[in-house]
Each structure stands twice: as structure tokens, then as C-alpha cells.
């Protein structure tokens, strides 16, 4: 079968782009061939609009020219929903559609929309032949909005050959968009106390988002152990991961973050929250740590216990590595998508 995958350019920022990059790099099949169409590229507003409208106007032509059987649409909330809605409506005229939902706050987006917008959201969600989500929690939510079959396929990542975790590393990192939703300010809230307890430890916040606001708070509170690292590419990330003792992501809303899976694949334990699909990857006290979103007391106490116990760090590391190897490796992920494509004939 011939698949047309629609979403942000693989070189763009964000988790969806990472998923698409993994498809480009790792998906191999004798039965299925994937083509790609970008609906978003980093750059000016004009660049982004041009990319979107080119996709809208060209999609039916590409479907016909390349004899596409299935259009695989990656969607989030807000602007992503409205952009992809147009493409779904056009694609459905010519072939089958599988909708791959990555939204971390689609429930908030839906509930804050007016009555007419909610009706339109439900209408669009009725159009695909299948909806794929990242966790059972999200499956329950979307089942309340559409009669289309909803299936769970968790994200996946490539595995390093071995676990080279360094339990004595001094860097605690956070990957992704910097801001309130990701819990960045909760990290700042405990940073000064952690600096007193662990003066050699450093927090590195990598990503884009509310950089100026966070930088101002770091300066005002003189948080010498917090460094803003900016957005980094895949090659730089691989180098950074070699010196990381812990990845933290105290998010308030999530799907199943690629940053958690990527760091676990490197044997790096995670401290995150019980939201979205995160508990499907992290089992508290076994391969990492979970807290309630917004609970900085738990964040501080669990991080302290972790940093004080070398055996705990090693145990969590090996369990994290094995979790990805067993459940979230690219090979298993590919097999699940091959099954979906085959069933949509």
C-alpha cells in the first residue's frame, strides 16, 4: 500500500516532528511505502502559511498522482486541528484516512471552544476511518467524541545498543517547550533549595517557549544552578544525554512525551507526573518517579531521595532501559502501524 503522511516537516521542533523523523529513518516494509507532505515548516509567518496552503491545494493531486491508498494525518490541538481538518476533508474524497492524535490538551481545547466549534470538532473526528491515540486515557476521551474506531499505539524511539548511564553525572535536564504547561516554573521553585543540598548539580532547560520570562526569574532569584540551553538538534542531544543523571518533566498536560521515551532509552530515569500517557511508560518506584502535577513538595522530596541513593539510580536506569526495549522500541511500533495500514485496504 502507498501511504501519504501529513504533518510538520521532520526538521521542525516538537514531538510530532520527532515521530515523523523516526518514520523517515526507521520505517521499512515490503508491503507499504510512505510518502511525506509537510504542513508546517519553521520560519516566518509567510513561510508557515505558504507550506500549509500548498498542502491543502496539492493533496488531492498528490493522492491521484502517486496512487495513495491511505493518508496518515498527525494532529494536535488549536491551529494544528484546523489546518489538518481541511486536509482530512479533501483527502477523504479520494482515499482512506487514519488520524494520529498527539494533542496534549485536546480536552482543554474542546471544552473551551464555543458550541459551534465543538460541533465542527466532532464532525471532523467523524471523518477518518480510524483514530490512533497515545494512551488508554486519551482513547476514553475521544470515544466520547466520535463513533470512529479508536486504537492506542504508544510512541516509540530508537534504542542505543547498550545502557551507558552514568549514575554519578551532575546534570539534570528538561527537554521540550519551556513554560507553565511543562512545569518549568515548578522546577524554578525548588532550584534554590536543591542548590543548597546539591551544589554540584545543574538544571539544564532545553527548548523554546517562555525563554525571556524564565530567564528573568532565574536572574531575579539568582538561581545559579539553572541554565537555559535553547533548542537543540538530534546530534547535540545525543552528546548531552551522555552526561545526564535525571530527566524531569513535571507537566500539567501531556500525550506521551517523546522526551521521556528518548531519555529512558538511554537508561536515564525520569521524574514526571501522572498525566496523559506518562504512567504507561513510567512506573513509580520501579523505573522512575511520578508525582501529582503542581506538587513541588513531592518534586523536591523525590528528587532529593533519588540523588542521595546511587543504587536507586542504577536500578531505575536499568528498568527504564528495559521498559523501552520491551514496549516502546521502533520495531514493535512499526509492526503495529503495518497492521493498521493492511487492515485499511
Say what the pLDDT of residue 220 is.
95
Q: Is residue 11 scored above 90 in pLDDT? A: no
Residues of the chain with pLDDT > 70: what percent?
A: 100
Please name each of the domains of the chain with its CATH number.
2-156+329-343 (3.40.50.2000), 171-327 (3.40.50.2000)
Average pLDDT over the chain, rounded to an integer: 94
Identify how many contiguous H helices and E strands the chain contains and give both numbers: 14, 12
Say what the pLDDT of residue 332 is.
85
- Give CA separation, 122 vs 81, 127, 180, 242, 332, in Å: 12, 9, 28, 45, 31
Q: Is residue 345 scored above 80 in pLDDT? A: no
Say what the pLDDT of residue 40 is.
83
Q: Tell me the C-alpha distance between 139 and 141, whole Å.
A: 5
Q: Tell me the C-alpha distance between 265 and 79, whole Å.
A: 31
Residues of the chain with pLDDT > 90: what percent?
A: 77
Tell me, rounded to whole angstroms, the distance of Cα 271 from its chain centroid: 16
- Give per-residue pLDDT as tens, 146-205: 999 999 999 998 888 899 999 999 999 999 889 999 999 999 999 999 999 999 999 999
- Give per-residue pLDDT as tens, 210-233: 999 999 999 999 999 999 998 887
Amino acid at each position: 500500500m502507498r501511504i501519504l503522511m501529513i504533518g510538520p516537516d521532520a526538521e521542525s521542533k516538537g514531538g510530532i516532528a520527532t515521530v515523523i523523523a523516526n518514520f523517515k529513518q526507521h520505517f521499512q516494509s515490503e508491503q507499504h511505502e510512505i510518502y511525506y507532505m509537510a504542513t508546517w515548516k519553521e520560519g516566518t509567518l509567510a513561510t508557515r502559511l505558504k507550506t500549509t496552503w500548498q498542502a491543502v491545494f496539492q493533496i488531492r493531486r498528490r493522492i491521484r498522482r502517486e496512487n495513495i491508498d491511505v493518508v496518515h494525518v498527525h494532529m494536535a490541538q488549536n491551529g494544528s486541528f484546523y489546518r489538518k481538518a481541511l486536509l482530512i476533508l479533501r483527502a477523504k474524497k479520494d482515499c482512506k484516512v487514519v488520524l494520529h492524535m498527539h494533542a496534549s490538551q485536546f480536552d482543554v481545547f474542546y471544552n473551551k471552544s464555543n458550541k459551534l466549534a465543538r460541533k465542527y470538532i466532532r464532525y471532523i473526528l467523524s471523518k477518518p476511518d480510524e483514530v490512533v491515540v497515545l494512551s488508554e486515557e486519551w482513547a476514553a476521551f475521544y470515544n466520547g467524541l466520535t463513533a470512529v474506531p479508536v486504537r492506542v499505539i504508544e510512541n516509540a524511539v530508537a534504542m542505543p545498543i547498550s545502557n551507558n548511564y552514568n549514575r554519578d553525572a551532575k546534570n539534570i535536564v528538561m527537554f521540550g517547550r519551556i513554560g507553565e504547561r511543562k512545569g518549568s516554573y515548578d522546577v524554578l521553585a525548588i532550584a534554590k533549595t536543591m542548590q543548597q543540598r546539591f551544589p554540584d548539580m545543574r538544571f539544564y532547560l532545553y527548548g523554546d517557549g517562555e525563554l525571556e520570562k524564565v530567564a528573568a526569574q532565574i536572574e531575579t532569584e539568582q538561581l545559579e544552578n539553572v541554565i537555559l540551553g535553547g533548542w537543540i538538534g538530534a546530534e547535540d542531544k545525543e552528546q548531552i544525554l551522555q552526561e545526564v543523571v535525571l530527566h524531569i518533566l513535571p507537566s500539567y498536560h501531556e500525550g506521551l512525551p517523546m522526551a521521556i521515551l528518548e531519555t529512558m532509552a538511554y537508561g536515564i530515569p525520569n521524574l514526571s507526573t501522572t498525566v496523559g500517557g506518562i504512567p504507561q511508560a513510567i512506573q513509580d518506584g520501579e523505573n522512575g518517579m511520578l508525582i501529582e502535577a503542581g506538587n513541588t513538595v513531592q518534586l523536591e522530596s523525590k528528587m532529593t531521595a533519588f540523588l542521595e541513593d546511587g543504587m536507586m539510580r542504577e536500578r531505575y536506569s536499568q528498568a527504564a532501559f528495559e521498559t523501552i526495549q520491551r514496549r516502546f522500541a521502533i520495531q514493535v511500533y512499526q509492526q503495529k502501524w503495518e497492521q493498521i495500514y493492511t487492515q485499511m485496504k
